[in-house]
Amino acid sequence: MNGVAPIPTRHRVAELKRLIELGAYQVDPHAVADAMIRRAEREIETLRSRAGSKAQNACSYPESSPSASMKLTPGSPSTTAPIQVKVALAVGQAAASRSAAAAGTDTQSS
């Protein structure tokens, strides 16, 4: 065989369809394997002819370095400084509570 599959005629296609519908079509595993090998060989030849005569001996990806990250947040969990209560504020609230109690009014603390 010359490596090229014969072009099926309309009559042959109709006959194959009829056999398949009847469940009478017998697959020849050797013919299928031969066709697969011929196709793979044609694909290899096509790739070789596109690449030219030189064989590829190294990776075709160009050398590149990783670009700098554009991420602005830190990679670790962030921390928050503990809230500090100023003494003057605490003293001022306490003084307001005492003066309100002395005046007989209720105060609401937040």
pLDDT of residue 8: 79
**Residue whose token pair is 């602005």:** 72
Sequence letter at residue 39: R
pLDDT of residue 53: 55
Per-residue pLDDT of the chain (110 residues; tens, 9 = 90+): 455 667 879 999 999 999 999 999 999 999 999 999 999 999 998 888 876 656 556 666 666 666 666 667 666 777 777 776 666 545 556 666 666 666 665 555 55
Q: Has this prediction a pTM greater than 0.85?
A: no
Torsion angle in degrees (nearest 10) through CA of 52, 54, 56, 58: -130
Judge whether 105 and 89 are in contact, CB under 8 Å.
no
